[in-house]
Structure 1
Amino acid sequence: MPKLPALLCCTCTALTLALAPPSVLIVGGTGRIGTAVAIHLLQRRPELQITLAGRSAERGRAAAVEVAAEVAAEAADCGFLELDYRDAAAMRAACEGQDAVVHVAGPFVGQNKLEPLKAAIASETPVYVDVSDPLEYIDEAKALDARKTSALLCAGAFPGFSNVLAVEAAHLLGEPVKDLNFSYFTAGLGGSGAINLDITNYGFGPPVPRIVAGEATRTENYAGTDFGTIAYDGLNAECWAWPFPEAATTGEFLKITGSSRAGMGTAPAIWNTVLRLMVAVVPRKWWSSKRFSEGLARFSEPLVRVTDAFVGEAHAMRVDVSSATSERSVAAVQRHDSFRRCVGQSCAEFVLDALDQATPGVALPEERYADRAPRERILARLSTTPGTTGYRVG
């Protein structure tokens, strides 16, 4: 039996570890979305120990200064780690001792795309969150065995917040769901960088996952077509189809019997017209080419920045579900003054919720928050972030 002083020492050490501020590693933390995640985490929980991870030490130093300046809290702890997340050994070492790993580097395609999640699982990191988009990535990630890691995929604004809104709308409908429609609008990227343009351009190439007549399918040559006007609270926005995974994943989760669709539009309206023309004339295989999509992003980024200065920033999303047994329907709408901040804040709130209520396994938002109590908890977090200008369900 240990002596009393030794027992007290062990007890004090355990209490110290239990009370130590949680540590969070943000992979892609030097990017615009990464800094938005860090800022919101520290504004909510200044005691968190945040590490921004990226490949450029120069960008890392600048990002850490930006985060500290915006948080303006003496207790805020934000460091930098030079890291290439595609390096399995380096990624595993970076995860050791972390309470949470957030992956916002993207894009989630190509080789070594699963390294951050694999490293988090191998090191038994309690919480892992990413903002993944491609359905192929999701399928591979969900096949991994995470017994001691609470891993949440697609945990941004859309997909992410929107998935949970769909489940809540279906709950309020209270009837079997026939059709599911996700509609998104962004005006101004908030300096979120060429990576978002890369992802958008790439999305015009592959087939679009969705539900048609109750069956999961992938529609060829569909992205950037099927234009329509989507009504938001006080906003009418043009919206075109795009391969967001939630049209398939949430549609399957809700067991819809009709069809699902996910689309987005932007401002000024001329961008929608330009995209429509380009999609009509550029071969689909070009959009799937990394060289073409990245080259187009680099070319168009200065133009986007100029127009952003005039249109400002805005973000909105609407989720509609309709009944399979009646004429009833339910709509959920959320608006925010910044796309970049909304994505970062949403991701950060998913992280904070998982730190408080971890549930081991790899899941999507519609699965993690299927039950009413946790769904109400996360919606209360997501719908009250700074910059939110509108929110309603029903």
Structure 2
Amino acid sequence: MTKQVLILGGRGRIGKSVAVDILTHTQAEVTITGRTPATETEDKPVKFLVLDLMEEEKLRNAIAQLSTETTSSNLVIHCAGPFHYRDTKVLELCIEYGVNYLDVSDHRSFTIKALKYHDKALAAGITAIVNTGIFPGISNSMVRHNIEQLDTAETIHLSYLVAGSGGAGVTVMRTTFLGLQNSFESWIDGKWQVVKPYTQRETINFPPPYGDSGVYWFDMPEAFTLPKAFPEIKNVITKFGSVPDFYNHLTWIAAHAFPKSWIQSKFGVEFLSNVSHQMTNVTDNFSGIGVVVRSQVTGTKDNKTAICCSTLVHENTAVAAAAGTGSIAQLLLEGKFSKPGVYPVEEALPTDLFQQTMHSRNIKINVETKYIASLFILFVLFI
């Protein structure tokens, strides 16, 4: 029986990229959804379904059709962001009909709501993984790998840099400006402390072609999930920046100089998102649309202070995000991975499977372990 994948929001740049990844690496039949009918230029390898997530009965029917006697063979992938606004209706229906679930969610509020359905998903026998993508997603697995290289771990420092639009469309712009609206809690010195978004600029030395670039505090789901996955951790730092650097300064102004009422209004977010998208349509031509992820974990190894740092550079942010989601989809569809319940990536995906799927997609992750006392460096490259 041909395995079925339903991608909600499959017309967006992330959703389309996920569809391409799954069609490339599996034999599954893919259906994407959109709110308006398909055009003659829609990609032919996929089926198309007109569906608005507000149409609950149509959504229910679409998911119910994936329910079979071997439900683990079919899959729903939720790519319809921004997730700041989303409820858990899709996940609930997947649990009801026994269909596996993935999403590309990238906001703490949604993650918290989704994780509350762990027991119900466990009882239904379905695997539900949230926050798949590049960051969060691949970044979480990089952290897990780094922690496994050390004897003990204390501090996680995640730095993300996106060039221009990242090739991911206006929805990502909305996500950025929505992330500026409120202060958030981060795990610092073993307790939750309030942090203001886009503060405490830090210059990070990223791999070529990015070099020294500025990043700022930014609220990400992994700031919430990593301390729970790794209880020994005392600090989780999540910082984000853009290329070219003037976008960072414009974002800082939006976060700190604009009236709060304006940045927190739907009109304000839409205005900033669309203006930014028009600007990146120009600057993408010289900045590119790539992404770099840097995961640094500090702890001990062989009774010495040690740092394990891994980096990933990809020329297209949307394609990299699709690899994170598509790789887990592939493992589920091929029956190589199953973990009933609702989990973030770092709690669910074993490192060996993560490495295998990255290798098959030619995604290279550089890993460096440094003993601070002796300055001895161990360099590893896995793809």
Q: CA deviation at 1:280?
A: 2.4
Greater Rg by CA:
1
Residue of structure 1 equivalent to 2:287:
311
Residue of structure 1 equivalent to 2:234:
258
Query: 1 or 2, which has the higher strand percentage?
Result: 2
Q: Secondary structure at the match of 2:142?
A: helix
Residue of structure 2 equivalent to 1:121:
95
1:62-96: CA deviation from partner (whole Å, max 9, x where unpaired): 4x32xx4xxxxxxxx41100001233222111112
Residue of structure 1 equivalent to 2:199:
225
Are residue 328 (structure 1) and residue 328 (structure 2) matched?
no
Q: How does 1:128-207 map to 2 (within 5 A)?
A: 128-144=101-117, 145-146=120-121, 147-175=124-152, 177-207=153-183
Counterpart residue type for residue 228 of structure 1: E
1:324-375: CA deviation from partner (whole Å, max 9, x where unpaired): 7742111111111110110112111111122222221111111113xxxx32
Matches of 2:305 and 2:166 in 1, distance apart?
A: 40
The one of 265, 290, 301 aligned to 1:289: 265
Residue of structure 2 equivalent to 1:51:
31
Shift in alpha-carbon separation, 1:251–1:326, aligned structure 2, 3 A: farther
Matches of 1:22 and 1:32 in 2, distance apart?
A: 23
Matches of 1:113 and 1:334 in 2, distance apart?
A: 32
Residue of structure 2 equivalent to 1:10:
none
TM-score by length of 1: 0.84
1:24-58: CA deviation from partner (whole Å, max 9, x where unpaired): 0000001111110011111112x311001111214
Matches of 1:364 and 1:352 in 2, distance apart?
A: 17
Residue of structure 2 equivalent to 1:279:
255
* Alignment size in residue pairs: 352
Shift in alpha-carbon separation, 1:280–1:191, aligned structure 2, 3 A: same
Q: Which moved more, 1:203-212 or 1:162-171?
A: 203-212
Q: Any stretches of 5+ residues in structure 1 without a counterpart?
A: 1-19, 69-76
Q: Any stretches of 5+ residues in structure 2 without a counterpart?
A: 67-73, 370-383
Residue of structure 2 equivalent to 1:350:
328
Q: Secondary structure at the match of 1:113?
A: coil
Are residue 270 (structure 1) and residue 250 (structure 2) matched?
no
Residue of structure 2 equivalent to 1:359:
339
Matches of 1:207 and 1:280 in 2, distance apart?
A: 12
RMSD: 1.9
Q: Secondary structure at the match of 2:19?
A: helix
Identity of aligned residues (%): 24
Q: CA deviation at 1:254?
A: 1.4
The one of 352, 361, 368 aligned to 2:348: 368
Residues 170, 273 of structure 2: 8 Å contact kept: yes
The one of 104, 107, 116 aligned to 2:82: 107
Matches of 1:285 and 1:252 in 2, distance apart?
A: 33
Q: Secondary structure at the match of 1:117?
A: helix
Counterpart residue type for residue 357 of structure 2: R
Query: 1 or 2, which has the higher helix percentage?
Result: 1
Shift in alpha-carbon separation, 1:312–1:241, aligned structure 2, 3 A: same
Q: Secondary structure at the match of 1:158?
A: helix
Q: CA deviation at 1:217?
A: 3.6
Q: Secondary structure at the match of 1:192?
A: coil
Q: CA deviation at 1:186?
A: 1.1
